């Protein structure tokens, strides 16, 4: 089965630093990976997508990378702010299926 693994431990960083979250997948590479943000008591919100043939994608302070050799995606938030504190979910979409498989998510806490 296709799995998505994210570090279940919370990531604590100081405001202004770069936060880096990891998403590892098993078996064959997904067609693309998606990253979502989830705040307490709310539904996940889509942030970024990266395709299998892309190395890197950026959106404002966010950057996502896709390494098919390591079977890994990294999600970076530069110049982090306390408002970035949330749980970040990674999801894989495999070719031929439109149904995402989500990781458990990693909680990010940015301290002022």
| Contact set with other proteins (CB under 8 A) | 32, 34, 36, 41-46, 49, 87, 89, 91, 93, 98-102, 104-105
How far is residue 53's CA from residue 37's CA, in Å, rounded to a whole number? 23
CB of 8 to other proteins, least distance (A): 8
H or E segment at 7? none
CB of 4 to other proteins, least distance (A): 10
Report the residue number, 21 or 91, with the smaller CB distance to other proteins. 91
Nearest to 35 by CA among 69, 74, 3: 74
Report the residue number, 11 or 49, with the smaller CB distance to other proteins. 49
Report the residue number, 43 or 112, with the smaller CB distance to other proteins. 43
Q: Are 8 and 89 in contact (CB under 8 A)?
A: no
CB of 29 to other proteins, least distance (A): 16
How far is residue 92's CA from residue 101's CA, in Å, rounded to a whole number? 5
């Amino acid at each position: 089965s296709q799995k998505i693994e994210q570090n279940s431990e919370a990531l604590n960083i100081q405001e202004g630093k770069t936060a880096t979250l990891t998403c590892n997948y098993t078996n064959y590479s997904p067609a693309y990976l998606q990253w979502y943000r989830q705040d307490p008591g709310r539904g996940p919100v889509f942030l970024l997508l990266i395709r299998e043939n892309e190395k890197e994608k950026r959106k404002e302070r966010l950057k996502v990378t896709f390494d098919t050799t390591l079977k890994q995606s990294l999600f970076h938030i530069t110049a982090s702010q306390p408002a970035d504190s949330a749980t970040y979910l990674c999801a894989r979409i495999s070719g031929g299926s439109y149904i995402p498989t989500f990781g458990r998510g990693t909680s990010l806490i940015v301290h002022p």
